[in-house]
Amino acid sequence: MKFFVDSAEIDQIAELNDLGMVDGVTTNPSLIMKSSRDIIEVTKEICSIVSGPVSAEVTATEAETMIAEGRKLSKIADNIAIKVPLTWDGLKACKVLSGEGNMVNVTLCFSANQALLAAKAGATFISPFIGRLDDINIDGMDLIEDIRVIYDNYGFETQILAASIRTVNHVLESARIGADVMTAPPAVIKSLASHPLTDKGLAAFLADIEKTGQKIL
């Protein structure tokens, strides 16, 4: 499974990238707002750090303007994935932009039917939102599973990018089902390394070696 970082914070992205934990980055207008930086400027800097796809989202809602914005975003760097919403206009934009050779990430997917449309429109990535479905008492993992089955049935090359990931269990279940990519905030990615038994075992080892009075350095 590929790991994308859902952030526009340069320091956090760079830290995880140095550890080999970053296969790409996803951003959106809300994350850009939190970074308090210009969308073009921060996206260009992210692209200079990360070699994998960097999703940059259009802000228009009408297809023609989405296409124009997508073309502008694509000029930032060769690894830009243009992010469009899963609306009818977004699908139109996806078809045009992907036809021009751009990577396109179709976001805000909440149903398998939507995912089917995105694949037929030539999406590189489909981003089903797990956490937001959980918020309304719908199991987001069921959507990941449905999309996986449908794409495998027909050999669609669109990659399933599990999004709105909030817990380590979301990551685990997405991997078990076979999502191609997951995108998560840096804190969630770091928390994958945590386990209470690891902490307990380490504390015991350190206590025992202290009793011997030995040191390696």
Q: Does domain 2-212 match CATH 3.20.20.70?
A: yes
Distance (Å, whole) CA 51 – CA 46: 9
Where the chain has pLDDT below 50, the residues are: none
Sketch the domain layout of the chain as residue ranges: 2-212
* Catalytic pick among 83, 92, 95, 215: 83
Q: Is 92 a catalytic residue?
A: no
- The pLDDT assigned to 37 comes to 85
Q: What is the pTM of this model?
A: 0.94
Burial classification of residue 88, based on how many CB atoms lie within 10 Å of its CB (0-12 exposed, 13-18 middle, 19 or more buried): exposed
- The pLDDT assigned to 36 comes to 83
Q: How many CA atoms lie within 13 A of 59 on its CB side?
A: 8
Q: How many CA atoms lie within 13 A of 54 on its CB side?
A: 25
Q: 57: which DSSP letter? A: E
- The pLDDT assigned to 29 comes to 87
